[in-house]
Structure 1
C-alpha cells in the first residue's frame, strides 16, 4: 500500500504566528494576510521547512478555529479539505462545505438556538464586575456557530473570572476556550475532535493510512487523540503542560512511569 499519510494540523502558533508574537525578519515568510491584504502572520525558516515537508509527504488537512473566509487568507496550498471554525465546518477536497456534517450541525444548533441568541448580551452583563468587553457570534453557512468575548483593554486579563458567572445551562451544553484576551463559548457539538473523527470515518473509513497530527494548544488535544501519532511545537501550551505534568507526577511518586 503506497497511500500517503493523512495529517491533521492546527495552523496558528503551530505552522505560523502573528507579527505581534514574532517580529519578522527577511528570513520570515508571509503566511497570512488580514482582510485588507496586509501581512499578518509569518513562518519562521524552520516552519517553512516543516510545511514543505508536510505538503510533499502527505495529504494535509488544516484543523483550525479560523473561519472558511479566514482560511482563504492563509498562504499555504492545502488541497485535501479542511476543518474550520473549531469544527463547525468541514470542507471536502473540492473546497465545498460537507453537506452531511452541515446538516448534523444545523440540527444540533436548532436545539440551542435560544441559548446562542442570548449569550452575547449576557456576557456583557457577566463581565461588568471585572472590565469592559465586546461580544459577537461567529456565523457560517447561514447559522450560528459559537460566541466570542474580547477584552477592550488587553491588560489585566480577567476573562477567566467570567466563567464563575456562567449559568449552569451554558456549562452543560458548551465548553469555554480562553486565549489571552479572547474567550470563546462553543457548543459541545462544535468540536475539532468530532469533526476530525467524522472526516476520518467518511474519507478513510478503512483506517488503512497512517494518521498523524500536530497542534499547539490544550484545545487541540482532542483531535490529536484521533491520530496514530501526534506532536507539538517546542514551548507551546501543550509542550509546557506536558512538561509540568511530568514534573508533578515525578515529584508525587518519586519515579517516572507506572508501578
Structure 2
C-alpha cells in the first residue's frame, strides 16, 4: 500500500490541554496561543512523543470544535486538511474551504434557517426560571453553525443540563446538545464530526484503500471514531471513564465479560 495511514484526531484534551487543566512545567511544550498571542495550551512530554510519531508516520487530519481561525493558533504542522467547528467546515490540504462540503452545509442551513435564527432567544426564554445566561450563534463562511449558551454566574451552581430538559420539541428534533462544564452547544444534526469525516473519507479515499485511524477524548468524538478502522482514547479521558464505567456495570449485571 503506497499511502501512509490517514489519521483523524481530536485536538483539545487529546493532543494538548489548557494550562488551567494542567499546570505547565519546563518539560511542557506550548501547543496553542490565545488571540493576543499568549500561551494557552500545552503538550505533556508523552503527548509530544505521540504527536511527533503521528506526524512522521501518517497523514493527520484534525477533527475539532475549533473554528478555522482558532485552528490557526494551534502550533502543529497539519498539512492534509482539517475538519473544524464540530464538522461545520472542511478545509483541504491547501487550507481552502472545501466547496463541496460548503454547499451541502449551505443547503441544510437554508432549510433550517428560521430555527437557527431563533435559537439564541429560545435558549434565553427557556433559561428564564433557571438563571441568567448569555447566548450567541457561531458563524463561519457566512453560515450559522451552532448556538452557544453560558451561565453568567456559574459559581452559583451549573443548571445547563436542566435547561436541556425544557427545550422545545422542535429544537431537540433538529439538533443535538453538547455540554462541557459551563458551555452548552446546540448543534444542528447536519453539523457533526462524524458526517464530516464520512464525507472526507469518501472524497479523499474513494477506493477505500487507506488504513484509517482515529483518536478522541470525549463522548462527542465517538461518532467519528466509529468511521475508523482502529481508534483509541487518552487515559483518564471522558471516553475512557465512560467505557470503564459501562464495562463494570455490564459485568455486574451479567456476571461475565462478553456476550453469548
Give the TM interval when normalised to the shorter protein.
over 0.9
Shift of 1:77: 0.6
Q: Shift of the alpha carbon at 1:153?
A: 2.1
2:174 and 2:108 map into 1 onto residues whose CA distance is 11
* 1:226 corresponding residue in structure 2: 227
Q: For structure 1, list consecutive stretches of 5 or more residues without a partner in the other structure.
A: none
Aligned residue in 2 for 1:181: 182
Instruction: Name the CA distance, whole Å, in 2 between partners of 1:243 and 1:143.
Output: 39
Alignment of 1:159-198 (within 5 A): 159-198=160-199
What is the rounded CA distance, in whole Å, between the counterparts of 2:30 and 2:126 in structure 1?
A: 38
- State the alpha-carbon separation in 2 of the partners of residues 33 and 90 from structure 1: 22
Q: Distance in 2 between matches of 1:132 and 1:125?
A: 10
Shift of 1:2: 2.7
Give the Cα separation in 2 of the matches to 1:188 and 1:148.
15
Q: How far, CA to CA, are the matches of 2:6 and 2:90 in structure 1?
A: 16
**What's the CA shift for 1:121?**
1.5
The SS at the match of 2:35 is coil
- How far apart in 1 are the matches of 2:199 and 2:45? 33
Could you tell me how far apart the structure 2 residues matched to 1:33 and 1:154 are? 25
Please state how far the C-alpha of 1:154 moved relative to its aligned partner: 2.7
Aligned partners of 1:78 and 1:216: how far apart in 2?
A: 19
Runs of 4+ displaced beyond 2 Å: none
Give CA deviations for 1:199-230 in whole Å, capped at 9, x if unaligned. Answer: 00000011111100000000000000000000
Give the CA deviation at 1:22: 0.5
Task: Give 3-state SS (helix, strand or coil) of 1:207's partner.
Answer: coil
Name the SS of the counterpart of 1:139 in structure 2.
Answer: strand
CA distances 1:39-67 after superposition (whole Å, capped 9, x unpaired): 11110010011000000000000000000
Question: Does 1:49 find its partner at 2:49?
Answer: yes
By how many angstroms is 1:122 displaced? Answer: 1.6
The residue matched to 1:125 in structure 2 has which SS?
helix
2:79 equivalent in structure 1: 79
Unaligned runs of 5+ in 2: none
* Whole-angstrom CA distance in 1 between matches of 2:198 and 2:152: 36
Q: Deviations over 1:145-177 (max 9, x none)?
A: 100001122331110000111111101100000
Q: 2:243: which partner in 1?
A: 242
Partner Cα separation in structure 2 for residue 46 and residue 131 of structure 1: 41
- Measure the CA separation in 2 of the matches of 1:95 and 1:54: 20
Distance (Å, rounded) in 2 between the aligned partners of 1:138 and 1:250: 42
Count of aligned pairs: 259
Q: How does 1:47-196 map to 2 (within 5 A)?
A: 47-155=47-155, 156-196=157-197
Distance 2:243 2:189 in 1: 24
Aligned residues: CA RMSD: 0.7
Q: TM-score, normalised by structure 2?
A: 0.98
Tell me how far 1:134 sits from its aligned partner: 0.9
